[in-house]
Amino acid sequence: AGAVILAKTNMVEFAFSGLGLNPHYGTPGNAVDPARIPGGSSSGAGVAVAEGTSEISIGSDTGGSVRIPAALNG
């Protein structure tokens, strides 16, 4: 409907973990401290918004997939 996708982010494989780890494509660094976990499963989306590199991100929240990255990244 007119949306322009500028980037994509990494997330947990199969959206299956609250940690935000992705051994295949790289784990996004936490927005506050890159050495910490970003939270998952929509980890890259939460990091992008917290860093200010994205105004909005898309994610689903079945078991905390949006709430966990939001909490861990501020």
pLDDT of residue 5: 79
Q: Per the omega criterion (within 30 degrees of 0), is the bond before 41 cis?
A: yes
Confidence grade of residue 15 (pLDDT, cut at 50, 70, 90): confident
Half-sphere exposure of 2 (CA within 13 A, CB side): 0
pLDDT of residue 48: 94
pLDDT of residue 50: 95
Mean pLDDT across the chain, nearest whole number? 90
Q: What is the DSSP letter of 63?
A: S
The residue with tokens 């861990």 is: 72
Taking the mean position of all CA atoms in its chain, how far away is CA 69?
A: 6
pLDDT of residue 4: 81
Confidence grade of residue 34 (pLDDT, cut at 50, 70, 90): very high
> Quick check: 3 pLDDT over 90?
no
